[in-house]
Amino acid sequence: MLPATNQPGDYIKLFEKLSHEIRTTQLRATLAANAELLALYWRIGNIILEQENSRGGGKRLSFA
């Protein structure tokens, strides 16, 4: 809850608290996005590996 007074120190504390909340949320969002990207890359690699294995004989996919 906000303090009843409007002293400069009160605004500084409020600003610091809000800044902390923003930084914490930004970090959590970054970590979540990185985790999702890592999972995506793993799935892509797995799909490619399955495709290569289904071709047999060590034939590799060529994207060129």
12-60 pLDDT per residue, tens: 999 999 999 999 999 999 999 999 999 999 999 999 999 988 887 566 6
How high is the pLDDT of residue 30? 98
Query: What pTM value is reported for the model?
Result: 0.64
Cβ(60)–Cβ(49) below 8 Å:
no
Question: How far is it, in rounded angstroms, from Cα 15 to Cα 38?
Answer: 34
